[in-house]
Amino acid sequence: MKRWTRAWTGVALLLFWGAGLWHVGTPAFWYDELFNVNLILGHDLPGMMTVLRTQQPYPPLYFLCLKGWAALTGARPYAPGLEPGSGLEFLLRAPSVLAGVLLLAMLVPLGRRLRLPGATSLPWLLALHPLLLWYARDARMYAVWMTLTLAAIYALTANRRWLWWLAATAALLTHYFALFPLASAAAVAFFTGGLRPPSAAGGRSRRWAHLAVLGGPFVFLLGWMLFALPVTLGFQSFGTGGPPDLATFLGLAGPDLLTARVFLEPLGRALDPRWGYGLLAAAGLGLALRAWKVPARAGIVLGAAVLGAAATFVAWQLRPVQHVRYLVWMLPLLAVGIAALPAALVGRRRDAAGRALAGLALAAALASAGLARAFITAPRTVWYPDFRDTVRLLNERALPGDAGIATAAHGVEVFTAYRSPVTFIPGPAIGERLQPEAAARLIPQGAGRVWTLLYQDEAVDPGQVLIGTLEAAGGYRVEMAYSRELRLYAYVHPGTVPPLTPRQALTATFEGGIALRGWSLHREERLIAVYLFWELLEPQTRSLSGAVHLAPDASSAPTVQRDKPVLSEYWLLPELPVGEVLPDRYEMVIPADLPPGTYPLFALLYAPDSGQRLPLMTGADRLYLGDFSWP
């Protein structure tokens, strides 16, 4: 019987291992993976530690291990289009797959500690779970973090002091958010007697010794946080939005985590959200019933899940960085809760409960198989840009003497993994805003070609000043590539590049203290780009949208228009300075069937929530800019 149960568990592990490694090296790295590659291959050890201590919100353990693994396996970057792949993607993702296998294997002893009948079936619940496979096929720390956190919780239930110290310390030094489930589990263990040291002393001395045993791993985290004080106190995430409400949080913990909605929705394969909420409720009920049955052990798991989730929710109110990846540690705990339900329903008939769990787990694996296959075989461009293919095009079409600019600055990290003969310099970094004089200084002076790699550029160049500066100097695009939000352009320009200024100066003031100081137009076949040069005459208290209309005549509705927030959603009007002229790009594509003729262009401002236009001081609700001739 034991041989059969070991084989049953082994098949689940092999199934996950095979699915995890299936073409795992085929997709290109996406940006977060490229950040990791840049950190371990683009920096020596002191440089990497300096970045983690002063700039990035991650403890060091995963990166130290990945750097050692890369050195051991000979992982190296390569130049797409100029040389064959080096196996870099496979080598750096493989540790995450191994971590996923260990996580599944660890579910069995945890289930036994909780006295779950049929604990050997637990790995089948997650063997083909799309979300676990996603993070197990990613060159990031999340699969490792999940495994270490589960190992630490198991150590508390099994009263294994050294495993608790090792696993909890490693988890805390892998991701800061490990603090929430592990502190919660340790608090429950303190009150239920988990890991209580044997001691002849009683009373207060024994409680202090118990607290020291449970709190030891957190001392290492505290030491690192003090060492990395610039990050732990001052790091601000990019584009996170406001704090989540309870409904949003439950959506992350239910449909996003348990049914992988966040990854399956772009494929059109997401389950009805009610499945996610139902599974979340079932998991909570199962953990509660098991804690009633085995309070000292299952109470630790329940506390880690419930109190850890509550602590995460509170932390997100203070620093809103909500995403399902920060809840992945809950997935195996919730799976245990779901597995506990058959035992609660069947009662003392352990054989029947074990068979019920085996059937449930096998059904979960079969139901997940099609979903897992769909996302494993789908191109990564469903979710992320293809940086490797973009660099391949760059390498195949680059000419001697070409130069490059990456906007935002972190775009240069792409070239640590994917090499190119074109040297790219970093543009403005997150938190900075590119202004015309700085854009002109960025562009190499002298005739030649300039490549622009634009990724998350709306956060640092909201008015698209960089490409406007090239175009205003007479530059024109000769190469271009698009991959989702990633754009690559090559511009030829005549040499001298002055700062971007209006070609048509004007003075027009809108109600509320916003002036338009001029405009420019650049045309490339059917694409026209109109730059409006705004100036704030007084501080603004609300965000506004701008628009450019091309109409048949002054009284007609627009034939073509472009509406967008003034500058971008990352630089709203209340955050912008008074007195600075702000270039703002509005792109329009002329319909192929537009009749030849002369068309007036208009600019306007309006409130995005109501659509109410801001009047000019003349009383008009839109400003005539000039005429556009087509073709």
In a domain, 134, yes or no: yes
In a domain, 375, yes or no: yes
pTM confidence score: 0.93
Q: Residue 595 is part of a domain; what is its CATH number?
A: 2.60.40.2060
pLDDT band for 290, please (50, 70, 90 cuts).
Answer: very high
In a domain, 403, yes or no: yes
| Structure confidence at residue 238 (pLDDT) | 60
| Structure confidence at residue 236 (pLDDT) | 65
Same structural domain for residues 447 and 544?
A: no
- Phi and psi at residue 500, to the nearest 5°: -70, 125
- Which one of 432, 467, 493 terminates a domain? 493
pLDDT band for 2, please (50, 70, 90 cuts).
Answer: low
pLDDT (tens digit per residue) in 294-309 = 999 999 999 999 999 9
Same structural domain for residues 230 and 366?
A: yes
Same structural domain for residues 533 and 465?
A: no
Which of 480, 239, 487, 456 lies closest to 387, judged by CA?
A: 487
Same structural domain for residues 403 and 441?
A: yes
Same structural domain for residues 577 and 430?
A: no
CA 536, CA 580: separation in Å to the nearest integer? 7
- CA–CA distances in Å: residue 610 to residues 536, 539, 546: 21, 21, 14
| Structure confidence at residue 204 (pLDDT) | 75
Which three-class secondary structure state does DSSP give residue 71? helix
pLDDT (tens digit per residue) in 218-241 = 999 999 999 999 888 866 666 557
Residue 332, amino acid: P
Residue 359's CB: how many other CB atoms inside 10 A? 14
Residue 433 has which token pair?
Answer: 């805003």
pLDDT (tens digit per residue) in 259-274 = 999 999 999 999 999 9
CA 428, CA 148: separation in Å to the nearest integer? 37
Residues across the chain: 631
In a domain, 31, yes or no: no
Find the helix packing angle between 88-113 and 2-21, rounded to 10°.
Answer: 150
Q: Residue 124 contacts by C-beta under 8 Å, 6 or more apart in sequence?
A: 12, 358, 361, 362, 364, 365
pLDDT (tens digit per residue) in 431-473 = 899 999 999 999 988 768 999 999 999 999 999 999 999 999 9
Mean pLDDT of 64-82: 97
Q: Is 23 left (phi over 0), alpha (psi -120 to 50) or beta?
A: left
CA 514, CA 574: separation in Å to the nearest integer? 12
User: What is the percent of the chain where pLDDT is above 90?
Assistant: 84
The mean pLDDT value of the chain amounts to 93
CA-based Rg of the chain, rounded to a whole angstrom? Answer: 29
* Among 52-56, 237-241, 487-491, 543-547, the least confident range: 237-241
**What domain range is 372 assigned to?**
2-25+87-382
In a domain, 58, yes or no: no
Mean pLDDT of 275-287: 97
Which of 106, 157, 150 lies closest to 299, judged by CA?
A: 157
Residue 134, amino acid: W
Residue 142 has which token pair?
Answer: 């999340």
| Structure confidence at residue 127 (pLDDT) | 97
Residue 531's CB: how many other CB atoms inside 10 A? 24
Same structural domain for residues 359 and 460?
A: no
Angle at alpha carbon of residue 610, lines to 609 and 613, rounded to 5°? 115
Mean pLDDT of 150-168: 97
- Which one of 472, 493, 514 terminates a domain? 493
The answer to whether the Cα torsion of 587, 592, 595, 597 is positive or negative is positive
At residue 197, does pLDDT exceed 80?
no
User: What is the percent of the chain where pLDDT is above 70?
Assistant: 97
Residue the block writes with tokens 């191109």:
379
Angle at alpha carbon of residue 486, lines to 482 and 487, rounded to 5°? 55
| Structure confidence at residue 1 (pLDDT) | 45
- Which one of 430, 459, 493 terminates a domain? 493
Residue 244 has which token pair?
Answer: 């989540």
At residue 411, does pLDDT exceed 80?
yes
Same structural domain for residues 167 and 154?
A: yes
Same structural domain for residues 347 and 452?
A: no
Same structural domain for residues 230 and 356?
A: yes
Tally of domains within the chain: 3
Same structural domain for residues 195 and 343?
A: yes
In a domain, 184, yes or no: yes
In a domain, 130, yes or no: yes
In a domain, 56, yes or no: no
Same structural domain for residues 353 and 473?
A: no
At residue 201, does pLDDT exceed 60?
no
Same structural domain for residues 315 and 436?
A: no
- CA–CA distances in Å: residue 475 to residues 329, 404, 467, 482, 513: 51, 14, 9, 19, 34
